[in-house]
A and B are shown apart, each in its own frame.
Chain A
Amino acid sequence: MEYFAGIDIGSTAIKIAIVDGTGRLVGHRVSASGSMFYKYAQESLAQLMAEVGVAPEALRYTVATGYGRKLFKEADENISEITANAIGARAAAQEHGEIKTIINIGGQDSKAISMDSEGNVVNFAMNDRCAAGTGKFLDVVARNLEIGVDELGEYHFKSTGTPLSINSTCAVFAESEIIGLLGNNHRVEEIVSGVHYSIAKRIVKLVKRVGIHEGIYFDGGPALNNGLVNAIENELGKPIFVPAFPQITTSLGAAVLAWESYGYESGEAV
């Protein structure tokens, strides 16, 4: 059997996906990027291969993507995370029907991508200048509220009052706004839902820039947070689709591309 790997080196995590000779996902792995991108990426790939039983010679083609993609010298090819995200979303949502819009919230940026029915990227908008609407920000919020990031969703749904709005567009100021709200004896629940809505509003602005179309897909680590999903759905007024493993879409896209590229190149060689 032949295998193909996609490796997405992001600012906070390294995500790897392996697909087989039919393009089917056989394994994936998420690990922290740490300070030594390259070393961790290598190690992580080796571990995943051992886990799913892929011998080194069976790995035919590797595609790297993400911020640190240029650092991964073993890759046969590398592509931008926008393209990889689009290919991955299409693959991950196969059973769901057509995907036209992707919302991706990463560790340090967020983006909205629109694609045509062939999966080609038509337009995209990015917000990479500030951490206020990203996974990093959710980490900071959870830390200030002294709860776990994975508890944010629970608190969101427990909120019964009006969500408390966070007006600052800068993460640093937003943090002090949150501390202020806490100091004024507001409940954590309404602060959390307020944070989710403030992120949701920003993301919807991005989505509007590329056009809101039916078939909305949401991925990236923060998509695991149901509260945030709920806030975005409410702001959009539309349901969104969250894949089973929202963190690995981009690496999956890279793996699928590796598989396609290999087929294309070996086909040409014949």
Chain B
Amino acid sequence: MNARNDHTIETPRERQGRHKAMEAVKVLDTLREYAVNPPEAMAYFYELHRRYHCDMTPMHEGKTKVGTMCIQVPYEVIDALGAAPVRLCNGFYTDDEIGGEYLPSKSCPLVKATVGAFATDHFADTPDLVVTPTTCDQKTKATGIVEEMGYPVYEMEFPRVKESEESREYWRRSVRNFTKTLSKELKTKLTRGKLKASIRKVGYAQTLYHRLNALRKAELPPISGNDMFLVTNAFFFDKTEAWSAAVERLLAEMEERVKEGIGAARKRSPRIVYTGSPPIFPNLKVPQLIEMADAVIVADESCSSNRLFNDMVSVDEWFLYDMVDAVADRYLKGCTCPVFTRNDDRIRRIVELVKEYSADGVVYQAFAGCQVYEMEQRSVLAAMEKEGIPILYLESDYSPSQLGQLTTRVEAFVESLKSRKRRQ
């Protein structure tokens, strides 16, 4: 028997760390366990997530870290000013529970989890500055809470109408102001050369990602959707160059696999396009259920993955402020977040993805409490019905238990897609 006093009690921070490590390990293990022909080059990403989320290994030591609370914050500008952009959107249930003490219990788990991480100051790379765009109401409102907790916050104004010229101009101005403030803050001048280099660097990462995605169109997709989420989620915090190098290796292996006809799924596995609230590591609950039910996610329309890389910056004139505007445009134009008044763009993109990737159906997840995704399910469901595309709508949260009902619904959907496939 062990003596009762040969141990000390964990500090709240240690406890938080253990809880997060337990969550992360669980997901990584489960993914490994169910993986069909896991690619070797994925080892880098598994290890990276483990290091970052379990061991809290910082990735950007010595650099100023700019924490971003949404995908709309221009990555290229931060990078060009010599700082490290770190996306803080959070997928930990542990943090969600803590965040629930600061926000209404019915709010979005993603926002609650993000706030929860601030509340406990539990980051591998603690942000020196936090940038929050005024996208959805909950992110917008979280700004004040994070500020109250003592973090310096920069509020970036984001328009809610996408099509108008006014919005475009408004957003460009917003990005220009941000650039000026950040450059003052960091005491660095933004130069043409630096911004150009950053645009190239991010652009290269995007190209790799697009090539990787194109391979998923193969009859046997060479990589699982969950692995792709790990890859894209790693972009949140990894050094861009390191990320690109790892994706290059992955890409080479994938190309081989496609040639040899090795897939990360079975031929009969229904092909799914995932859309909705962003799956952020370790909350891969729904994507995991989908692939454990013997379907394969071939593409996604989500801001934690596909949307990150959709459009590239297109520059007409390589003058500094033209470049900044071009960066701004990339974000607004490419953004299919449901915060906008109309969502025609998002619907169009989902339909396109289904066709391009020969998908058999769509799974739409809304986080309980995320108004915009919950509201937009109606229009998306209607549009899919018109196109004859089967779609499953699910509402879920971050809690690791109570999977029963979700599992049953996902399995039933996947089975119905299989029998449709057989009849074709």
Q: Across the two chains, which residue of chain B brings its CB closest to A197?
A: B22
Interface residues of B in 1-42 (CB under 8 A from A): 1-2, 4, 6-7, 9-12, 14-15, 18, 21-23, 25-26, 29, 33
Contact (Cβ within 8 A) B401 A237: no
Q: Is A247 an interface residue (CB 8 A)?
A: no
CB distance from A74 to the nearest CB of B (A): 36
Chain A residues, Cβ within 8 Å of B368: none
A237–B22 touching, CB < 8 Å:
no
| A167-B10 in contact (CB<8A) | no
A12 at the interface (CB under 8 A from B): no
Q: Give the interface size bracket for B toward A.
A: 20 to 34
- Contacting pair B26 A164 (CB below 8 A): yes
List 3 tightest A-B contacts by C-beta distance, closest first: A167-B400, A165-B22, A234-B10
Q: Is B1 touching A167 in the complex (CB atoms < 8 A)?
A: no
Q: With an 8 A cutoff between CB atoms, is B54 at the interface?
A: yes
Give A233's nearest chain B residue, CB to CB: B9
Which A residues lie at the B interface, using CB under 8 A? Answer: 150, 153-154, 157, 162-165, 167-169, 180, 184, 186, 194, 197, 226-227, 229-230, 233-235, 237-239, 242
With most chain B CB atoms within 10 A of its CB, the pick from A162, A168, A234, A242 is: A162
Binary CB contact string for chain B from 233 to 269 against chain A (1 if under 8 A, 0 otherwise): 0000000000000000000000000000000000000
B273 to chain A minimum Cβ distance, whole angstroms, is: 27
Nearest A residue to B4, CB-CB: A226
Task: Known contacts A226-B2, A234-B9; decide if A163 and B401 are in contact (CB<8 Å).
Answer: no
Residues in A whose Cβ lies below 8 Å from that of B12: 237
- Residues of chain A with a CB closer than 8 A to B22's CB: 162-165, 194, 197
Give B337-368 as 1s and 0s: 1 = Cβ < 8 Å from A's Cβ atoms: 00000000000000000000000000000000
Chain B interface (Cβ < 8 Å from any Cβ of A): 1-2, 4, 6-7, 9-12, 14-15, 18, 21-23, 25-26, 29, 33, 54, 400-403
CA distance A227 to B3 in the complex (A): 10
Contact B15 A234 (CB under 8 A): yes
Do B9 and A239 have beta carbons less than 8 Å apart? Answer: yes
Verify B2–A154 contact, CB threshold 8 A: yes
Q: Which residues of A contact B26 (CB under 8 A)?
A: 164-165, 167
Nearest CB on A from B285, distance (A): 10
Known: A169-B401, A234-B9, A239-B9; 12 extra A-B contacts, CB below 8 A, are A150-B1, A163-B22, A164-B22, A164-B25, A164-B26, A165-B22, A167-B400, A180-B33, A194-B22, A227-B2, A234-B18, A237-B10
29 A-B residue pairs with Cβ-Cβ distance under 8 Å, sorted by A, are A153-B1, A154-B1, A157-B2, A157-B6, A157-B7, A162-B22, A162-B25, A163-B22, A165-B25, A167-B401, A167-B403, A168-B401, A169-B401, A184-B29, A184-B33, A186-B29, A194-B22, A197-B18, A226-B2, A226-B4, A227-B2, A229-B4, A234-B9, A234-B10, A234-B14, A234-B18, A237-B9, A237-B15, A242-B4
What is the CA–CA distance of A131 and B9 in the complex, to the nearest angstrom? 27
Smallest CB separation, B156 vs chain A (Å): 37
A141 to chain B, nearest CB (A): 17
- B7 to chain A: which residues have CB within 8 Å? 157, 230
Q: In the complex, A183 Cα to B122 Cα: how many Å? A: 33
Closest B residue, CB atoms, query A163: B22
Chain A positions within 8 Å of B403 at CB level: 167
C-alpha spacing A157/B26, complex, angstroms: 20
